[in-house]
Structure formats: structure tokens, C-alpha cells
Amino acid sequence: MAGTYNICLDIGGTKVLGAIFDSKNKITYRLKKKTKADGDDSQNIEKVIISVVEEMINESGLKRDQIHAISAGAPGVVNSETGIVLFSPNLPWRNYDIRTPIEKKFGVPFYIGNDVNVGVLGEYKYGAGRGYKNIVGLFVGTGMGGGLILNGKLFTGNEFKAAEYGHMILDPEGPLCGCGQRGCLEAFSSKKGMTAYIRQQVGRGRKSMMEDQLVNEVFKSKSLKKALEAEDAVAMEAVDRACHYLAVGTGNLINTISPDLVVYGGGVIEAVGQIFLDKILAEVDRYCMPSIRSTVDLKIAELGDDSNLYGALAMIEGDKKKAK
Amino acid sequence: MAGTYNICLDIGGTKVLGAIFDSKNKITYRLKKKTKADGDDSQNIEKVIISVVEEMINESGLKRDQIHAISAGAPGVVNSETGIVLFSPNLPWRNYDIRTPIEKKFGVPFYIGNDVNVGVLGEYKYGAGRGYKNIVGLFVGTGMGGGLILNGKLFTGNEFKAAEYGHMILDPEGPLCGCGQRGCLEAFSSKKGMTAYIRQQVGRGRKSMMEDQLVNEVFKSKSLKKALEAEDAVAMEAVDRACHYLAVGTGNLINTISPDLVVYGGGVIEAVGQIFLDKILAEVDRYCMPSIRSTVDLKIAELGDDSNLYGALAMIEGDKKKAK
């Protein structure tokens, strides 16, 4: 008899999150494990993934034949058809076939997609996007990721590279982005962009509660939340600037796609999403055509950190439907 | 016996172009007629359309029963399913049902879509876009229109309003656009935007061959061509600026959609397209991610002023295929 449990993974640069879903799509078991993505040790991540799946099966008391499929979101350009990760900014995978070893090891189908694409799919199927058809998803984290649902399906463009909204240029003379361009949405509105702003202001001699966060590449979302609650001026400016450019970027995407929903997700939104949404809503009407604006909703993600896990589940579910 | 000839129309603010296509999709007859879109005289445009179709049938010697269908592109937000023009910037139609009177008059199906959407569809089926699957089309005319082909189909988004690339904001503090926003692509790169630049420079006391064009809202494309051939400094600056922002806008659209083709059309491109394309190609790599750039071609439209007529034909052909 075929298994009815699905194992879903959110593969990140520093950790792997795992969840087991039962046949009613409820999470029955969770696991979180740190990865060490040193240098080019691609096999190491593969080993971590395998050990996470094994541990989840063992600890949850499931038998191998109760597993129906394994599915994952991972950062980078992921060919969902072949299971090959073409490139990842945070993982040492280049043209790396992750499907074959996982399927060989566990004897069940393995699905994989870009993490934010998958997260937006999760929101579409199980979260804030239920009932919508054309969805633009913007995920604000260390960087800025995107996802696009068109006519109820994930749209990945040519070679699975669509929805890089984070690198939309909003000011050609703006601050340098990690991608080498200037004035990308990510350079203003991601944790990286906001951290750079705070670093600059602290460097000018201004005081901020977030100074202690500057030893790392980016601040922790919780620390931003605290600083906003305390009305820390520098943190508030960083957020105002981030939301201004998010409003411009959102306006451009509304004009381009005419979606029925724009959904904001990711770690920053999970922590201070309502503040971001209110600021974006206060500005966005200026940056898109009123007739197009009138038929689009703006919402924050409902599934929080679980968007990717639910999206991974949605990939399995979508494939079951196709097979019928 | 069902008719095999199709009558296709390109409905503009000042003129209607018509063409009769035979069963081999060759144009056998052409007509051009001026419209007078005074005030709110919506029925007048309808009368012009009917008289154009009647004249084409009579002058070409066709019989009524030889006509298979009539199809048209028109400016504005057009519901292609119902045949209702929701709004048009250049025509006096507001929620105007143009399908019913035309179908009643001629007894054949009438198709209608947004002119630039239809033009990009034409390029996809019969022009520069043949063999491509995901196409972003940018049409540079008096304003700046867009079209989007995804997975081989015209994508029109929520309520037929997608692909308003002309109002993508590239500089929130930039020049005022006709739409009320600042720094839209259209405000830099359309005829309106370039005319405003030339007007400004001439107003500062600089000389330009294009001075005589400033009595009208926008210059004629032929006049721009002449000025560029004569290396008129002001005209060249206007074009450099237009192409710079077209390159930024194109980069943003490449990052957003990951298309396999970006096609440039419209009156300006028909006149001086190679100059525009060369300038855009010289800059665009800076404004999109190299991995996404590597799988997209940039081309100028092949069908010129006939893009819309061929696109109107494609709407009929697409519907025939669906019916099979």
C-alpha cells in the first residue's frame, strides 16, 4: 500500500527545517537542523538532508512504506522538472542533481523548487492566497525573493528564473546591491539593505538600539521589532525607506502583471509585517494605475515560517492531481 | 459554405486601418480611414468601423458570405471575452459594447483586444516572436504600450489590465507622466517623453531640427529619423535618454518574467528601431541578472505597422484552434 505521509523540507543556507504532513495535510512532526555550508562541500548538504529525513522518520515512529513523497524548497535557480539546482547563492550547489541521490536513498519521489517560489505556492494553496488566481509574492528576508502564480499555477519563466523582483532597479544611481547593480529593490528593502542603512547612520555617529546587530551581515528580525517598538529613529528611517521602495516596486509589479493579490512574506514580515503593510498601503496608490490598483488586494502571508513547508506539500499535491 | 476571408482592423484614436486576409493569411486588400473622435460620440467610431468594413467588402469584390470573421485591436482596457471596451485613453468608449452591433450588422464573429496586446500576439504568431514561448513586448509610440505572451498564450492578468509597462516607475522623482505619476518609463521613452525633452531644451534656447514638430503634442517618427541622420544634438540626447530608461525597464522586466524574447515595436521602432535596439543592447546587461539575461533575445518587431492587423488575425486563428 502506498504511503500517505509527506516529508517537506525548507533548505536554507544555515539550516534545514523539516515537517511531516499526514494525509489531512496536518503537521505531525517537526525538526530543525543546522547545516554547515563550507566551501564547495555539496555532498555535505546532501548528507544533512538525508540525515534530517532519516531522523524524522525514526523519531516520528513512521515506517518507510508510510512515506508517500519528499519535497523541498531551496534557495537559487532550481529546475523543478529535473531536480537539478543550477545555482544557489547560499548553497555550494552548481548544476547539482539532488533528486537522484534522495530518490535512490528513500525510494519515493523527491520534488524541489526555488524556496520563495515554493513559499508563494504555499500561500496560494493553504494561506493568504486561497481563492486568488494571479499572485505576486514578495518575501523580505536577508535578501528579497519573489514568486509568481498565474492562472492558478506557479510561473517560473524561461529556465526557472522568473520573479527576481529583488533586483528590479528603482534608482539607477541608488546604493550598490550585492548583485553588482545599483538601486535594486533588495538594496533598499531587504535586511541587507536596511542593515546597510543603519550601519551608515551609526557610522555617522548617530545612536541606535540596533548597533549591536552590526557585527553580523544582517540584523535579526526580532531586534528590528524591538527597535520599532522603542521608536528608535534610525530603525524607523530604515523601515520607512524600505517600505517606500517596496511601495514603488509593488506598484510596478501591479502595472506589469495586474495580479489579484500581492502577498508579502519572509522573516521581516513574520516579525513586523503589519507595520510594513500599513506603510506600503499608504503609498502604493501613487505608483500604479488606479484602474489596475482597484482589483488587487495586498496582504501579509498567513503561514509565516511554514510557507515553504506548505509550498513543498503543494508541489506533491499538484503532481498527484496531474497524475489523476 | 463558411467564409474563408478575415477582416482585421487596427482602431486608433485618429484612424482605422483595415486589411482583408485570405485563407492563406495573405493580405489581399487594405484600407485606411480617418476617425473623428470628438467628445463622447462613441457611436461615431462604431459608424466609422462599420463603414470601413462595408467599404472593404464592396471595394474588394467579396461577397458577405465569404467573410469568416472580423477582428480588431483598440487602445485601452478591452475585455476580449465580452467584447466590451472598459476604458480607452484615445477613444470615447467607456464600458462600451462594440461586439454586439458589429456582429449584428455583419452576422459573423467579432473579436477585439487591447491594441498592443494584439500587436505582440501578432509578432508572436507571424513575426519576430515565432518559435518563442514567453515574450515581453514593448511598443514605443505616442505613449508606451506592452504585451505579454506566457507559455505561448496572451496573458492579460486580472480584468485584462496586465502589461502596463509604460507606467513602470524608474525614478520616483523623475518627470511628470500623463498618468499623474512621476518617472514612468513612458515619461522618458515614448514620443510624449522625448517631445517633452526636446521642448525643454529648445525652451532653454538650444537649436534643434525638430523645433517645427513642437506645435503638435508629439513629433512624427520620420522627423526623428531625419534629425538622427543629421546628428541633431538635442534629438540624439532625447533618444539616448529614452534608450537608457528602456534598458533599465527591459532589465526589470527580464528579472521579473525571465522571458525568452523581448520585442520592441510601435511607430518609433518602425522608423529608427535598429538605433534603439543597439543602444538598449549596449546597456541592458547592467540592469538584469546575468544568468537571466543569458537566455533572452532582444529583437525589433518584424511586422511593423501591421503587427496589430496580424495579431487580430491571430485572435481568430486561436479561436478556431480552440473550437476544433
Q: Which of B10, B50, B2 is nearest to B30 (CA)?
A: B10
Q: What are phi and psi of A173, to 5 degrees?
A: -105, 15
DSSP string computed for B82-107: TTEEEE-SSSS-EEEE-HHHHHHHHS
Q: Is the pLDDT of residue B256 over 60?
A: yes
Q: Is the pLDDT of residue A38 over 70?
A: no
Over residues A228-232, the mean pLDDT reads 98
Nearest CB neighbour to A158, from listed B157, B164, B296: B296
Superfamily of domain B5-115+306-323: ATPase, nucleotide binding domain (3.30.420.40)
Grid look-up 518584424 returns: B302
- Look at A157 and B288 and tell me if their CB atoms are within 8 Å: no
Distance CA A155, CA A162 (A): 7
ipTM score assigned to the predicted complex: 0.85
Q: Is the pLDDT of residue A39 over 80?
A: no
| Domain ranges in chain A with CATH number 3.30.420.40 | 5-119+306-323, 130-301
Q: Is the pLDDT of residue A265 over 60?
A: yes
- Look at B255 and A287 and tell me if their CB atoms are within 8 Å: no
Superfamily of domain B128-302: ATPase, nucleotide binding domain (3.30.420.40)
Q: Residue A268 half-sphere exposure, CB side, CA atoms within 13 Å?
A: 30
Q: Is the pLDDT of residue A64 over 60?
A: yes
SS3 assignment, position A9: strand
Give the pLDDT confidence of B176-191 residue by residue, as tens digits: 998 888 999 999 999 9
Q: Output the pLDDT for position A45.
A: 86
Position B218 confidence tier, pLDDT thresholds 50, 70, 90: very high
> How far is the alpha carbon of B45 from chain A, nearest alpha carbon, in Å?
23
Query: How many Cβ pairs within 8 Å bridge chains A and B?
Result: 124
Give the pLDDT confidence of B151-208 residue by residue, as tens digits: 999 999 999 999 999 999 999 889 999 888 899 999 999 999 999 999 999 999 999 9
State percent of chain A over pLDDT 70: 97
CATH code, A130-301: 3.30.420.40
Q: Output the pLDDT for position A44.
A: 82
Which chain A residues have a beta carbon less than 8 Å from that of B138?
none
Which chain A residues have a beta carbon less than 8 Å from that of B252?
168-169, 252
Q: Output the pLDDT for position A88.
A: 84
Give the pLDDT confidence of B87-138 residue by residue, as tens digits: 887 788 899 999 999 999 999 999 999 999 999 999 999 999 999 999 999 9
List the single best residue of B77, B132, B161, B188 to mutate versus A (max A Cβ within 10 A): B161
Fold classification of A5-119+306-323 (topology level)? Nucleotidyltransferase; domain 5 (3.30.420)
List the single best residue of A87, A252, A285, A297 to mutate versus B (max B Cβ within 10 A): A252
- Look at B258 and A289 and tell me if their CB atoms are within 8 Å: no
Give the pLDDT confidence of B11-65 residue by residue, as tens digits: 987 889 999 999 999 999 999 998 765 555 777 889 999 999 999 999 999 999 9
Closest residue of chain B to A291, computed from CA coordinates? B161
| Domain ranges in chain B with CATH number 3.30.420.40 | 5-115+306-323, 128-302
Closest residue of chain B to A87, computed from CA coordinates? B291
Query: Could you tell me how many helices (H) and strands (E) chain A has, helices first?
Result: 10, 13
Closest residue of chain A to B163, computed from CA coordinates? A256
Say if CB B15 and CB B35 are below 8 A apart.
Answer: yes
